[in-house]
Amino acid sequence: MSNIDLRVFLMILPHTLIARNVEVIIKTLIAQRLYREGFSQLGIARILGVSQPTVNMYLKDPSYSQENVMKRLKEIGLDPKEFNDFLEEIMFLIKRGLTEDVLRRLIIYSNSLLSSLKLCDYHKRIDPSVPRDCKICSELFLVSEDIQMIYDLEKAFEIISSIRGVGALIPEVGSNIAYAKRDAKDLGMILAYPGRIVSTGDYVAVVGRPRWGESGHLGRILLRIVGGGSKYRSVMNLRLHPCIEKWLHNKNISHAETGPHDRASIRDIEKIIGDTVLERNIFVIKDFGGPWIEPNIYIFAENPLKIAQYINEIISLC
């Protein structure tokens, strides 16, 4: 017993690190965004599970200002751009009333921060009792990529299929959403729906659940851009539509045009689209097709939920 270092019981646990730092930042920024969008302080308190005075503190206390919160974010070792993308996903789910999905995303995000060791330097800086070579979190907080990808894709389609008017965005030949593993090397590491997503008028439908190795066309495009180091791992093809043009204009979204392709094969077109994404670092490609190949707009994102968010924005402008 005398050999046990009792300092272990005084260490700041990883969960405490998340609760005291990351969770507070998330709640602060979500509160500020919801307030700007017209939510009452009481309504925000109910959403966040905190008291109304706490929400008032997030909104009024100078120590919780945007500048100070972002400074805090950098201090603990998080990338502001990546964090902002995560917050946009959470906001999207909150406004659709998907409470369980918000909780799931928060848990997965917290675990991914720990398993990736992004908080390690900060943890060791504020708690000298943590061993310098500690990497325990990389073993204990792993998130199953396969399970998470299937969930993300199914949830994205569930959201998209609930949006009235989305059927107008589907090409004559149908659509699909593909999602690549982080280190995807072949089509077996690409998740998509079997067959195609088809229009049923105002809405869309699909047969079956996502499977690995489906949608060779979108899969080959993703393999090219993932292999080239792009952050985009998901893509959906849509028809050329005025509402998408309006979205691109209103949001000032940079995009590229490819084609028409007089003699190019479908494989050539896939290469052109993939290379354009990599060279221009953009997430929207307007391709004008070719003989027997329908024009399409390709929207890329880090994950399918982000694509669902884009679809929602597009339809809101129709």
> Do 160 and 299 sit in the same domain of this protein?
yes
Residue 228 clears pLDDT 90, i.e. is over it? yes
Of 110, 143, 176, which one is at a domain's C-terminal end?
A: 143
Of 143, 166, 184, which one is at a domain's C-terminal end?
A: 143
Residue 1 lies in a domain: no
Residues spanned by the domain of 233 = 146-316
For residues 25 and 129, which has the higher predicted lDDT (pLDDT)? 25
Of 86, 117, 143, which one is at a domain's C-terminal end?
A: 143
pLDDT tens digits, 257-271: 998 988 888 899 999
> Do 132 and 162 sit in the same domain of this protein?
no
Residue 267 and residue 217: Cα distance in Å, rounded?
Answer: 8
For the entire predicted model, the pTM comes to 0.82
Among 152, 8, 166, CA closest to 89? 152
pLDDT tens digits, 16-70: 989 999 999 999 999 999 999 999 999 999 999 999 999 999 999 999 999 999 9
